[in-house]
Amino acid sequence: MTDQIAVVGGVDTHTDFHQAAVIDSIGRHLATAPFPTTPDGYCRLLEWMRMHGDVLAVGVEGTGAYGCELARFLRASEVSVVDVDRPDRKARRANGKSDPVDAYAAATAVLSGRAHGRPKTRDGIVEAIRSLRVVRRSAVKSRTQTINQIRTLIVSAPAEVREHLRSLPTYQLIAQLARSRPGADLADPTCAVRTALRRLARRYQHLTQEISEADAELAPLVAQATPGLMDLIGVGTETAAQLLITAGDNPARLKSEAAFAHLCGAAPISASSGRTNRHRLNRGGDRQANHALHTIALVRMRYDSRTRLYVARRTAEGMSKKDIFRCLKRFIAREVYKHLTSTNTPQTHLPQTA
């Protein structure tokens, strides 16, 4: 009768091994065991679960990190995979913390319906964009650190160096420092600081070249993934790439544009009580996606005439700048969602209500 039992699996993922657990359809704990994070280990994990009955679904923690490849394997094996968040701190304090406990908790979350999200497939062009963008973001961060180090060195440099460089704009400063000849006497502080500035300037140039190459690689991929997204006002390669990454290769997993807005942290949360009817800022969601929406809103407020008119009207009605930004980001999320899930003509109207 074992093969007729319906079971639900749960997996607590780690670097070198995954802890798996199985429960039946009424939540009874059946078994738990560790498996290595190798192709053979994934096969053994699935066979072990099927030994206990018909696998209805498997809840996996960390489908975007340690459990990414396991989720791919289970989907390829026609097993329903559910993305499970880690238990909240209150539940951890009450039930303790161990790998078997977390694995059982993942299975229980699926059975109870608390966990029901579909994970990203991470097997298409959006995953390629994500990988390339990791390099670009690190290069941008390193370049910012480099120019900050240059400015700091100039502030504390001897007067003969500082007075000559402090008023130059960034592009002239980098070009002049990169072709400078500081000398060979590194025991001299002036020579040493000039040598350091030249090396930092050349590093800045190298990082700039790396960013340009990444942009050249990302632009055609983003255009191929969503042909109409970059036609929207204010949407560039960087913001479009981030919004694609947030939605994933399977944006159909998002139930509606409201769900996408909530995922981006652009859906205001009700904070009403009694006669007070108001909404507050949503501090959850993907903050990088929220930053992308904020950037698009800034560009539109500066260059789009309809957006400027909307801002002026809302300001005259007494709405604060922060609330106007929230309205704009909510509308942009709605507009972007239509392009992520279809090839409809871009919408250009503005929201009429807060």
Is the same domain home to 21 and 101? yes
Q: Taking 90 as the threshold, does the pLDDT of residue 221 lie above it?
A: yes
Structural domain count, the chain: 3
Is the same domain home to 277 and 212? no
Amino acid, single-letter form, for residue 1: M
Is the same domain home to 271 and 332? yes
Backbone φ and ψ of 186, nearest 5°: -75, -10
Q: Name the pairing type of β-strands 6-13 and 269-270.
A: unpaired
pLDDT at 92: 67
Category of 265 on φ-ψ map: left (φ > 0), alpha (ψ -120 to 50) or beta: left
Is the same domain home to 134 and 162? yes
User: pLDDT band at 1, cuts 50/70/90?
Assistant: very low
Is the same domain home to 249 and 295? yes
Amino acid, single-letter form, for residue 302: R
159 or 345, greater pLDDT: 159
| Tens digit of each residue's pLDDT (9 = 90 or more) over 91-131 | 666 666 789 999 999 999 999 999 888 899 888 999 999 99
Domain containing residue 96: CATH number:
3.30.420.40
This model's pTM is above 0.85: no
Chain-centroid distance, C-alpha 233: 22
In a domain, 171, yes or no: yes
Is the same domain home to 8 and 83? yes
Structural contact between residues 149 and 203, judged by C-beta atoms closer than 8 angstroms: no
Residue 244: which of 209, 298, 289, 282 has the closest Cα? Answer: 289
Is the same domain home to 132 and 213? yes
In a domain, 348, yes or no: no
DSSP state of 53: S
Sheet holding 81-84, edge to edge: 29-36, 17-24, 6-13, 54-61, 81-84
Q: Which of 90, 112, 134 is the last residue of a domain?
A: 112
Q: What percentage of the chain carries pLDDT values higher than 90?
A: 65
Task: Give me the mean pLDDT over the 225-247 stretch.
Answer: 92
In a domain, 31, yes or no: yes
Structural contact between residues 266 and 329, judged by C-beta atoms closer than 8 angstroms: yes
Q: What is d(CA 335, CA 340) in angstroms, rounded to the nearest whole number?
A: 9
In a domain, 346, yes or no: no
> What average pLDDT does the chain have?
88
Amino acid, single-letter form, for residue 90: K
In a domain, 275, yes or no: yes
In a domain, 190, yes or no: yes
Is the same domain home to 241 and 202? no
Q: Which domain holds residue 170?
A: 125-225
pLDDT at 98: 87
User: pLDDT band at 90, cuts 50/70/90?
Assistant: low
Amino acid, single-letter form, for residue 253: R
Helix 170-178 crosses helix 125-156 at what angle (to 10 degrees)?
80
pLDDT at 353: 41
Q: What percentage of the chain carries pLDDT values higher than 70?
A: 92
Reading the block at residue 270, the tokens are 């009700």
In a domain, 307, yes or no: yes
Is the same domain home to 325 and 235? yes
pLDDT at 281: 74
Is the same domain home to 209 and 301? no
Reading the block at residue 313, the tokens are 């009207």
Q: Which of 192, 225, 258 is the last residue of a domain?
A: 225
Q: Which of 112, 142, 169 is the last residue of a domain?
A: 112
Return the sign of the alpha-carbon dihedral for residues 152, 158, 159, 165.
negative
pLDDT at 91: 62
pLDDT at 4: 65
Structural contact between residues 263 and 286, judged by C-beta atoms closer than 8 angstroms: yes
Is the same domain home to 312 and 271? yes
The mean-pLDDT minimum among 85-99, 156-170, 257-271, 273-287 falls in 85-99
Nearest-5° Cα angle at 117, 284 to 235: 55
Radius of gyration of the chain (CA): 26
Nearest-5° Cα angle at 338, 332 to 341: 135
Structural contact between residues 333 and 264, judged by C-beta atoms closer than 8 angstroms: yes
User: pLDDT band at 349, cuts 50/70/90?
Assistant: very low
In a domain, 327, yes or no: yes
Residue 170: count of CB within 10 angstroms of its CB: 11
Is the same domain home to 10 and 106? yes
